[in-house]
Amino acid sequence: MSSSAAESLTTAPSEQGGGNGLLWLLAAVAVVFAFLRPRAPMDWLKLVDWQTVGALAGLLAITQGVEKSGMLQAAAQRLLARTHSQRSLALLLTASAALLSALVTNDVSLFLLVPLTRVLANQAHLPLARLVVLEALAVNAGSALTPIGNPQNLYLWHRSGESFVAFMGMMLPTVAVMLFWLFAAVWLLVPRTAIALKPEAEATPVQPRLLALAGVLFVGFVVALDRHWLLAGLGVVFAVFLVSYPRVLRGIDWALLAIIALMFVDLRQLAELPAVVALLNHWPITEGWRAYLAAIVASQFISNVPAAILLDGHVRDLPALAAGVSVGGFGCVLGSLANLIALRLARVPHGLREFHRISIPFLLVCAASALLLRLG
């Protein structure tokens, strides 16, 4: 991925002059696959996980509703009045991200916290890119604890036959290592300096009615997703906003949805390549540290959810596989869908560069530490 193409991932559509380098790169890769491995049109559509894309579309709309209600601005003002150092604020945000991700999934946690962090940076001099990167690391770490924290855990939990608590017990040592290094990273990367407020801009009026509507839609949409009523839930969200607050829908990052859809198209075809399948069949990755490292490496190229599904047929050591795809969410931005969502929501220039500057060393340290723990 070229730096110019990748960097445009981190800025919002309104701030990047129509440039979406990663989108065009993924589209070009899809065109190459279309020539190398022709498919029927319906087969292309089947490559996309529409449940994920639809869920993200609904959450993006609801998040826009919360932002335009003015609630985040008011919450940021209160938070800055009670938090006096950058480090304490970073610790609070990352701890919240880790905890929420274990309870309401990693993606939902980012939709709640990254917009708040962006508003905080509008009101005070804060290292926005660094805070968002740490939040992305936090949701990858925290979500690994529970079966419902992320999609790969949910898949592996159903495959394992373990109880909810037993699965948490299996993941706890790896999660403890990741959280230890997460808070060490916060301590090292965010200075204990006083928060300097920016000159006060014109206060954004709070719209309680819009905030209440977004809250009701959020609860209803989550219930619809749980009941597998995606189309009905998505239809209600978009219809309500279209009738009452159409400006909310105009703020949705449609390019992000296209990027996610094309990721599924490209990465799933990459995983199906005969050379990749042959490599997996010949490598001794059925168990132990080899399975663990294979999961980490595969996650860097095809993301950790597809990696878990792909390797499940080759790896017999489920704890090693689960630990590997969890740690594999760090490193390359493609390691986890949450990384892409965090950077896109942040709308910060050079966010991808900052992400890899922190995430790659973090991956190496976590991978080595968790491996030593497993071997010990």
Render pLDDT for 7-22 as a digit per residue (tens, 0 to 9). Answer: 444 344 433 333 477 7
Mean pLDDT of all residues in 173-200: 94
Structural tokens at position 78: 């209160």
Q: Output the pLDDT for position 63.
A: 84
The rounded distance, in Å, linking the Cα atoms of 58 and 238 is: 8
Render pLDDT for 212-271 as a digit per residue (tens, 0 to 9). Answer: 999 999 889 888 887 889 899 999 999 999 999 999 998 888 888 888 888 888 878 887
Side-chain-side CA neighbours of residue 293 (13 Å) = 12
Domain of residue 297 covers: 3-193+204-375
Asked whether residue 338 is assigned to any structural domain, the reply reads yes
Single out the residue of 373, 374, 356, 306 nearest to residue 137, CA to CA. Answer: 356
Asked whether residue 199 is assigned to any structural domain, the reply reads no
**pTM of the predicted model, to two decimals?**
0.80
Instruction: Count how many domains the chain has.
Output: 1
Asked whether residue 91 is assigned to any structural domain, the reply reads yes
Mean pLDDT of all residues in 153-177: 89
Give me the long-range contacts of 34-43 (CB less than 8 A, separation at least 24): 37/269, 37/272
Kindly report the average pLDDT of the chain as a whole number.
86
Contact status, residue 275 vs residue 37, Cβ threshold 8 Å: no
The rounded distance, in Å, linking the Cα atoms of 369 and 363 is: 10
Structural tokens at position 369: 């530490």
Render pLDDT for 43-58 as a digit per residue (tens, 0 to 9). Answer: 888 888 888 788 888 8
Mean pLDDT of all residues in 84-91: 95
Asked whether residue 352 is assigned to any structural domain, the reply reads yes
Asked whether residue 198 is assigned to any structural domain, the reply reads no
